[in-house]
Amino acid sequence: MTTRILTGITTTGTPHLGNYAGAIRPAIVASRDLQADSFYFLADYHALIKCDDPQRIQRSRLEIAATWLACGLDADKATFYRQSDIPEIPELTWLLTCVSAKGLLNRAHAYKASVDKNVEAGEDPDAGVTMGLYSYPVLMAADILMFNAHKVPVGRDQIQHVEMARDIGQRFNHLFGNGKELFTLPEAVIEEDVATLPGLDGRKMSKSYDNTIPLFGSSKQLKDAIARIVTDSRAPGEPKDPDNAHLFTLYQAFATAAQLADFRAALLDGLAWGEAKQRLYELLESELGEARERYHTLIARPGDLEDILLAGAAKARRIATPFLGELRESVGLRSFREQAQVAGEGKKKAAKSARIVSFRDDDGSFRFRLLDAAGEQLLLSSSFADGKSAGAVSKRLQSGEALDLRAEGNAFALWLDGAAVAQSPEFADAAARDAAIERVREALAPQE
C-alpha cells in the first residue's frame, strides 16, 4: 500500500543549516521511498498569519522553493506546490470551520500562549489576536485532509495541530459521510533521530536567536559563520571533550561514521579549535557546494521556478477538484439537475434518495457514480473525454429509460447503445449482486 506523506513549509524566512538538517534533508530522503506518495507545499497562506511584510513573504517563497529543488527534491516524483495555488484549500477550510468547535480552537497552543501573555501584561485577553491566528488549526487541517494524507512529519510543537485535524475530519465524517470515511484520519510522525542543530552560541539554531549558519550563503559567509562558533578556552594540544562541544554536534550531523571517529580522536588528542572549525567548514562545503550552485541558478531564473510550482499545483488539483466536488455534494451544495424530481403530491419513493455524482478523474477525464441512499456506490461510469458527454449519459439514466443491466460474475455492468457505460463493484456472491441490480432498477425507475 502506498503511504501518502504531506509536509508544509511556512514561507517567512531564509532556510538555514538547522532547517536543512532537521527538516529538508530527511524529507527529501523520505520522498525517494517507492512506497511513499509525497506532497510538499509552500505554506504561504500560513505565512500571512505571522508576517505583514509582502516583500519578505515573496522573497521567502522564492528562496524556499529554490532550496528544496536545489537540495534534490524531484518535482516529477513528489507533488510540489504553493498552498495559494490550490483554491480548493480555502473552500475546504470554510467547510471545516463550520464543523469545528470553538472550544477545540480555544485549546490551541498558539492561541493560549497569546492569551496568557496578554493576561500577564494586564491587557484584554484577545488583544492583538487575529482570526488568522485563532483559525490556524483549521487551515492546517484543510491542508492535510484535502489530500487525505496518512502521515504528517512535524515537530513536537505541531503534534496538537495534527490531532485537531483528526478531530475535525472525524466530526465531518460523522455528520456528512453517510457511513463513508470521506477523510482519512492523519497520523503525526515525530522523527526522533533527526538532528536538532545547535547555533553559534550553543542554543538551538534559530533566526529568533540570531545564531544561524546560512545554508546557501557564499563560501566566505559559511567560513565566517563557523569561525564565530563559541568554544571553550582549552588551548591547542589540550584534550577537548567532544560530547560537550556543540561544534562536534554540528560535525556529527554531516559526517560519515569514519569521519566522525577520526574527528573525535583528533579532539581527544588536542586538536586546536581553529583547526576543528576548518574541518567543519570543509565538511559542510563538500556537502553544500554543488547544491549552492543549483540554488543560485534557480534564484536567477524565477520563471522556471514558477513553471515547476504551477505544474505541481495542476497535479495537486487533479486530486483536489473532484474531491471537493464530492465534499460539496456531501454537505448539500448540489446541482439542481442532479436532484431527484418529485412528481405530484405523493410521497417520494425511498429509492429516489439515490443520486448520481459527477466528478473529474485524475487524468482529466469525466465520470459519474450512482450512490444509494446510504452513500454506497452502486455503479461507476467509464471515462468520458468531456463533461458534456458524461452529463448526457447520466441524464438519460435519470429519464426513466429502460435499463440494460448484465451480470458479469459477481458484478454487473450497465449497457447503453451497445456499449458498457458503467460497472458495479464486485459483490460477495450472486445473491448480493442480484440484490444490487434491483436497487439500481428502483433507484433509476421513472417517477409515477
Q: Which positions make up the binding site?
A: 10-12, 18-19, 143, 155-157, 197, 204-208
The CA distance from 434 to 407, in Å, is 8
Instruction: State residue 363's pLDDT score.
Output: 76
Comparing C-alpha atoms, which of 193, 195, 190 is closest to residue 205? 195
All three cell numbers of 320, joined, read: 483536489
- Contact call for residues 139 and 46 (beta carbons, < 8 A): yes
DSSP notation for 55-88: HHHHHHHHHHHHHHHHTT--TTTSEEEEGGG-TH
Residue 343 confidence (pLDDT): 40
List the 404-408 sheet strands across, edge first.
355-360, 366-371, 377-381, 419-423, 411-416, 404-408
Is residue 348 classed as helix, strand or coil in its secondary structure?
coil
Considering the domain 3-193+301-336 in this protein, what is its CATH number? Answer: 3.40.50.620
Amino acid at the residue 136 = Y
Reduce the secondary structure of 205-268 to three states and give it as a string: CCHHHCCCCECCCCHHHHHHHHHCCCCCCCCCCCCCCHHHCHHHHHHHCCCCHHHHHHHHHHHH
Extents of the domains making up the chain? 3-193+301-336, 216-290, 355-444
3-state DSSP call for residue 276?
helix
Residues placed in the known binding site for L-tryptophan: 143
| pLDDT at site 166 | 96
The matching CATH number, chosen from 2.60.120.10, 1.10.645.10, 1.10.240.10, 3.30.1490.190, for 216-290 is: 1.10.240.10
Q: What pLDDT does residue 349 have? A: 43
Amino acid (1-letter code) at residue 408:
E
The one-digit pLDDT tens for each residue of the chain (448 residues) are: 689 999 998 888 888 998 898 888 888 988 899 889 999 999 999 999 988 899 999 999 999 999 999 999 999 999 999 999 999 999 999 999 999 999 999 999 999 999 999 999 999 999 999 999 999 999 999 999 999 999 998 877 789 999 999 999 999 999 999 888 999 999 998 866 666 789 999 998 887 788 999 899 899 999 999 999 999 999 999 999 999 999 999 999 999 999 999 999 999 999 999 999 999 999 999 999 999 999 999 999 999 999 999 999 999 999 999 999 999 999 999 887 765 543 444 444 444 456 788 877 777 788 888 887 766 788 889 988 887 888 888 888 877 677 888 998 889 999 888 888 899 988 888 888 888 888 888 877 765 4
Residue 193 burial by Cβ neighbours in a 10 Å radius (0-12, 13-18, 19+):
exposed
**Chain Cα centroid distance, residue 341:** 40
Q: Which of 244, 241, 234 is nearest to 274 (CA)?
A: 234
Do 61 and 82 touch, CB atoms closer than 8 A? yes
The CATH class that applies to domain 355-444 reads mainly beta
| Cα gap 309→305, rounded to integer Å | 6
Pick from 366, 427, 377, 433: nearest CA to 405: 433
pTM (predicted TM-score): 0.71
User: In the sheet where 187-189 sits, what is the strand order?
Assistant: 79-82, 36-43, 3-10, 151-153, 187-189
The pLDDT, as a whole number, for residue 350 is 41
| Residues 6 or more apart whose Cβ sits within 8 Å of residue 113 | none
Binding residues for ATP: 10-12, 18-19, 155-157, 197, 204-208
What pLDDT shows up at residue 443? 79
